[in-house]
C-alpha cells in the first residue's frame, strides 16, 4: 500500500485532532505517525496546544460569556413572546371593541326604521333585523335644503348594547324637511310627511328610463316577484317604434282554481311596470289555462285616468309611487 507523504499527513492532523477525518483517513494517519518521528512529534505538540489553548482565567471568562449569551437569548425569547402576546391581545381588543362596542355602518336592509316628525324634532327608532344584532349608535347629517341622512351602527348584542336604538334629532335648517334617507344606500325612509315602506322603496329603486335593456327589465320583474307569484316566463320587447311595449309570456299552464288570483297579480304588476319604466306604454301577459290561451294588456293611459295623475310622475317620487300602489290594490 502506498504511504501518505508527510506533507499530506501534516495537513490532515488538525482535522484528525478535531475528529473530523474518516475511519480510512484515521488508519492512514495513525500508520504514518507510528513510523514517522517528525509527524509524531508534531501531532503531540498540536495536542498539547489544543489542551492548553485557554488558561483557567480565560476558560472562566469564556464560560461566563457563554452563560451571558444563553441568558440573553432566553431573555430575547421571553421579550419576543411577550410582544407576540401583546399583539394578539391588541387585535382581540380591537375586534371585541368593533364587534360589541363601536360596530360598523349598517347596510340598508339590516335595520328597520320607524320615523315620526313632530315640528322640528325627528324621532327615530332603529330595530336590527337579525335578533343577534344591536344598534349601537344613530348618526344624523342635515343639509340646508330639507334633507336628513340617518346612519346606524350595528354591533353584536351584548350587555353594552341590546336590540333597538331610539334617538331624537332636532332640525337646525329653516327649510322644511322634505326627505329622510337611511344608511349608505341612501334608501328613502320618509318623504313629505309620509313614511316609505321598505317593499315600496325596494321596488321603486329598480326604476329605469328605457325598456329594452333586458338585464334591467329582468331586475324590475324580479323586484315585483313575478316568477314567485305566478311562474316562470319569457320576455318580448316592442321597441322598434312607439308606443313601446313589454310582453310577459308564462311558460307553464296556470291553475284554473287560482285564475282570479293570477289576474289580480298580473294587473298589479303590469301597472307598476308602467310606472317604473319611463318610456313604457303598455304591458301584456300571455298565459294558458286548461289548454286555452289568454292575453291581458294594461296601458299607461288607463292607469293615469284611474289614478287621477300621470303615472309617469311616480318615476320621480317614491311617495307618489306608494300612493299609486295603494290605488292599484283597490281596483
Reported as a single tens digit per residue, the pLDDT across 90-119 is: 888 888 777 777 778 888 789 999 999 999
Tell whether 207 and 325 lie within a shared domain: yes
How many angstroms separate the Cα of 316 from the Cα of each of 222, 324, 327? 21, 13, 18
Asked if residue 96 belongs to a domain, the reply is no
Whether this prediction's pTM lies above 0.75 is answered by: no
For residue range 167-189, what is the model confidence (pLDDT) as tens digits? 999 999 989 999 999 987 789 99
Tell whether 119 and 187 lie within a shared domain: yes
Tell whether 218 and 291 lie within a shared domain: yes
Tell whether 183 and 219 lie within a shared domain: no
Tell whether 272 and 166 lie within a shared domain: no
Boundary-marking domain end, from 196, 220, 243: 196
Closest Cα to residue 166, out of 122, 106, 101, 109? 122
Q: What is the pLDDT of residue 50?
A: 63
Q: What is the mean pLDDT of residues 118-139?
A: 94
Tell whether 207 and 190 lie within a shared domain: no
Asked if residue 76 belongs to a domain, the reply is no
Retrieve residue 215's grid coordinates.
338585464
Residue 313 pLDDT > 90, yes or no?
yes
pLDDT band at 61 (very low <50, low <70, confident <90, very high): low
Tell whether 212 and 293 lie within a shared domain: yes
Of the ranges 1-10, 50-59, 98-107, 125-134, which is most confident?
125-134
Q: What is the pLDDT of residue 92?
A: 85
Q: What is the mean pLDDT of residues 59-65?
A: 60
Q: What is the pLDDT of residue 277?
A: 97
Instruction: Supply the mean pLDDT for the chain.
Output: 89
Tell whether 206 and 187 lie within a shared domain: no
pLDDT band at 14 (very low <50, low <70, confident <90, very high): confident
Residue 62 pLDDT > 60, yes or no?
no
Asked if residue 99 belongs to a domain, the reply is no
Domain that holds residue 155: 105-196
Boundary-marking domain end, from 196, 215, 233: 196
Residue 59 pLDDT > 60, yes or no?
no
| Cα R_g (the chain), whole angstroms | 43
What's the total number of domains in the chain?
A: 3
Cα 74 from Cα 308, distance rounded (Å) = 86
Q: What is the pLDDT of residue 194?
A: 93
Q: What is the pLDDT of residue 56?
A: 59
Q: What is the pLDDT of residue 237?
A: 95
How many angstroms separate the Cα of 110 from the Cα of each of 8, 104, 153, 163, 220? 85, 12, 10, 12, 22
Asked if residue 245 belongs to a domain, the reply is yes
pLDDT band at 63 (very low <50, low <70, confident <90, very high): low
Tell whether 255 and 321 lie within a shared domain: yes
Asked if residue 83 belongs to a domain, the reply is no
Cα 84 from Cα 87, distance rounded (Å) = 5
pLDDT band at 21 (very low <50, low <70, confident <90, very high): confident
Residue 210 pLDDT > 80, yes or no?
yes
Residue 64 pLDDT > 70, yes or no?
no
How many angstroms separate the Cα of 120 from the Cα of each of 114, 151, 172, 186? 17, 19, 8, 21
Asked if residue 189 belongs to a domain, the reply is yes
For residue range 277-292, what is the model confidence (pLDDT) as tens digits? 999 999 999 999 999 9
Tell whether 188 and 206 lie within a shared domain: no
Cα 16 from Cα 11, distance rounded (Å) = 9
Cα 39 from Cα 4, distance rounded (Å) = 11
Q: Contact, 191 vs 176, CB < 8 A?
A: no
Q: Contact, 124 vs 143, CB < 8 A?
A: no
Asked if residue 74 belongs to a domain, the reply is no
Q: What is the mean pLDDT of residues 134-148?
A: 93
For 81, list phi and psi in degrees, rounded to 5: -65, -40
What is the CA angle 261-267-270, rounded to 5? 135
More confident: 286 or 20: 286
Q: What is the mean pLDDT of residues 239-253?
A: 95
Q: What is the pLDDT of residue 7?
A: 86
Residue 324 pLDDT > 80, yes or no?
yes
CA dihedral 207, 209, 214, 216 (to 10 degrees): -30
Tell whether 237 and 210 lie within a shared domain: yes
Asked if residue 75 belongs to a domain, the reply is no
Boundary-marking domain end, from 196, 214, 233: 196
CB atoms within 10 A of CB 283: 25
Q: What is the pLDDT of residue 69?
A: 62
Amino acid at each position: 500500500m502506498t504511504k501518505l507523504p508527510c506533507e499530506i499527513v501534516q495537513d490532515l492532523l488538525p482535522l484528525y485532532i478535531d475528529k473530523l477525518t474518516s475511519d480510512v483517513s484515521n488508519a492512514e494517519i495513525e500508520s504514518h505517525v507510528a513510523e514517522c518521528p517528525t509527524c509524531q512529534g508534531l501531532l503531540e505538540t498540536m495536542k498539547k496546544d489544543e489542551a492548553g489553548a485557554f488558561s483557567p482565567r480565560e476558560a472562566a471568562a469564556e464560560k461566563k460569556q457563554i452563560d451571558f449569551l444563553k441568558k440573553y437569548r432566553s431573555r430575547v425569547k421571553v421579550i419576543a413572546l411577550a410582544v407576540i402576546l401583546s399583539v394578539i391581545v391588541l387585535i382581540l381588543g380591537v375586534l371585541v371593541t368593533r364587534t360589541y362596542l363601536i360596530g360598523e355602518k349598517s347596510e340598508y336592509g339590516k335595520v328597520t326604521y320607524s320615523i315620526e316628525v313632530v315640528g322640528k324634532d325627528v324621532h327615530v327608532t332603529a330595530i336590527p333585523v337579525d335578533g343577534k344584532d344591536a344598534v349601537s349608535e344613530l348618526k344624523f347629517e342635515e343639509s340646508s335644503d330639507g334633507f336628513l341622512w340617518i346612519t346606524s351602527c350595528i354591533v353584536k348584542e351584548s350587555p353594552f348594547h341590546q336590540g333597538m336604538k331610539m334617538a331624537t334629532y332636532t332640525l337646525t335648517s329653516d327649510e322644511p324637511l322634505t326627505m329622510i334617507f337611511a344608511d349608505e344606500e341612501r334608501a328613502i325612509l320618509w318623504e313629505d310627511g309620509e313614511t316609505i315602506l321598505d317593499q315600496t322603496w325596494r321596488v321603486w329603486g329598480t326604476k329605469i328610463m328605457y325598456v329594452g335593456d333586458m338585464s334591467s327589465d329582468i331586475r324590475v320583474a324580479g323586484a315585483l316577484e313575478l316568477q314567485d307569484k305566478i311562474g316562470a316566463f319569457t320576455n318580448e320587447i316592442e321597441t322598434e317604434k312607439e308606443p313601446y311595449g313589454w310582453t310577459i309570456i308564462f311558460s307553464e299552464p296556470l291553475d284554473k282554481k287560482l285564475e282570479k288570483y293570477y289576474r289580480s297579480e298580473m294587473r298589479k304588476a303590469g301597472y307598476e311596470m308602467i310606472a317604473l319604466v319611463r318610456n313604457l306604454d303598455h304591458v301584456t301577459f300571455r298565459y294558458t289555462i286548461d289548454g286555452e290561451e289568454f292575453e291581458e294588456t294594461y296601458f299607461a293611459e288607463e292607469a293615469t285616468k284611474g289614478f287621477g295623475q300621470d303615472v309617469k310622475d311616480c318615476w320621480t317620487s317614491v311617495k307618489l309611487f306608494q300612493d299609486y300602489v295603494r290605488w292599484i290594490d283597490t281596483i
